[in-house]
Chains A and B, each alone.
Chain A
């Protein structure tokens, strides 16, 4: 059964106001910016944003007024440092933030993926991150008596992931660093797969070790080339470093952030207009210059 939708449909149907949404799960690679921008265009409100780190996408969604709660280990602009809209929202407007660490984001999602209420860990003992935090409680190991942290399971309403290729049912290939994507896909109630390319099921089935998402977990599949820009997609385009630098400069104030959102998100109908705005030259410059194909794996017998 095909689950193909366009981005507008997928966001309208699967991301209601008030939902908890996991995004940016592959760290600085393959951040689903196109999906995030559509959420902003549709003026979704009171979302809980979930992710280990967020390389400027959370900052944009906060600026657009979509978020009322952030559950994350790190929010900012990885190459430049702080993100101004996140700072303004926390320091001035009291945006609710639940601080986790990268490992505990992974554990919270993995607990949900496994269907257990928590997972034990030794991380963050004695840290203020764990104080007054509903995701942590100390307990004694029933086997050894050692002090451990229990990290509470976290079930996102929706996980949105960007991958290189998927078939129409949502079986998806992804290569490069996976971060916490696989855990989040198994933990979430609904999954939106955004793919650079839609391919025939035979292509996916030819290399099942690369299938990081089985289609039966997927609610919608969206084809969106260049949908992760300015973050990189291995084998498709590199990171647009200048874009992250410019964003840092152009969002220092509330007013300049508004202008940025009008220019890059709210004033555009979708990803093809975004791509036009970037210009063919810039898109071309980010493309792969030296292909590096993996050796084929023989699944024959």
Chain B
């Protein structure tokens, strides 16, 4: 997965996990999700956010990460030693009442205003049916903010999603309030090339490029004319303790190699 020019000391997935981990602040309540964000939660807990709390939509609440790698949120290690193991309505109620600071999401498409599609896309041979929302629409609707992880390509970052599974900023600033959403919206999109953030108009802009990636490459692979922040930073490489936490957890590299 290494891009040319990127130090061989870490993989792109590891960089994305470290970037995602830094979105979690200490003492925050986080809807964790699976795959890379799950590992980001582990990293954050072991580094800068030891008091973060993790919520899972199956009803699990954890103040410590599962002690071994899990593939789904209901794997037995995620239940052992949990703070609470109850029902979905309970954790979704915490989300709706505004107690969840941050949620992580993946998607097939993310657009200029941070709307997400995970329901269906138009492929070369016609419609491609994807698995669907799961809890993504709920997290995007109700968390105080959400962060998306996805592969960077023109296809995955269209001007407008063809189906708005999970609401971002709709068609711009003020939209969420107009449709009745209580709060929230996208805070960052962490891609395989860059980190995008959102301006006052609710539109995505290029905030940082990953080491070895040119801003022009990011622009060329985005489906609209991406705004660029005055100073495009370089995404911070994973620190040693972050890398150690990632590799201890994902020993075989199922998610990060």
Contact = CB atoms under 8 A, between A and B. Distances in A.
A147 B133 contact: no
B88 A122 contact: no
A137 interface: no
Contacts of B96: 103, 121-123
A219 interface: no
B58 A79 contact: no
A147 B179 contact: yes
Contact of A126 (B72, B87, B138, B164): B164
A123 B138 contact: yes
Interface stretch (B44-52, B121-129, B237-245): B121-129
Interface in B115-159: 119, 126-138, 141-142
A194 to B, nearest CB: 17
Interface in A31-77: 52-53, 55, 72-76
Interface stretch (B6-14, B73-81, B213-221): B73-81
A225 interface: no
B89 A123 contact: no
A81 B141 contact: no
Q: How large is the interface on A (under 10, 10 to 19, 20 to 34, 35 or more residues)?
A: 35 or more
Contacts of A97: 129
Interface string A209-236: 0000000000000000000000110100
Contacts of B127: 91
Contacts of A83: 131
A255 interface: no
Contacts of A104: 138
Interface residues of B, number: 50
B58 A27 contact: yes
Contacts of B208: none
Contacts of A126: 141, 164, 167, 170, 175-176, 179-181
Given A75-B132, A239-B71, A182 B87 contact: yes
Given A106-B92, A176-B74, A180-B89, A125 B181 contact: yes
B88 A106 contact: yes
Interface string A241-281: 10010000000000000000000000000000000000000
A178 B86 contact: yes
Contacts of B34: 78
Contacts, number: 179
A125 to B, nearest CB: 4
B32 to A, nearest CB: 13
Nearest to B129: A90
A44 to B, nearest CB: 23
Nearest to B132: A74
B134 A101 contact: yes
Nearest to A30: B74
B182 interface: yes
Contacts of A202: none
Given A27-B74, A28-B74, A177-B56, A124 B138 contact: yes
Contacts of A91: 126-129
Contacts of B170: 126
Interface string A75-116: 110110111001100110000010111111011001000000
Contacts of B142: 122-123
A16 interface: no
B175 A176 contact: no
Interface in B154-208: 163-167, 170, 175-176, 179-182
Interface in B222-245: none
Contacts of A28: 58, 72-75
30 contacts: A28-B74, A29-B74, A29-B79, A55-B72, A74-B132, A74-B133, A76-B131, A76-B132, A86-B131, A91-B126, A91-B127, A91-B129, A103-B92, A103-B96, A106-B88, A122-B180, A122-B181, A124-B137, A124-B141, A124-B167, A125-B180, A126-B181, A127-B141, A127-B165, A127-B166, A127-B167, A147-B180, A177-B85, A183-B87, A234-B76
- The 3 residue pairs across chains A and B that have the minimum distance between CB atoms: A147-B180, A76-B131, A126-B179
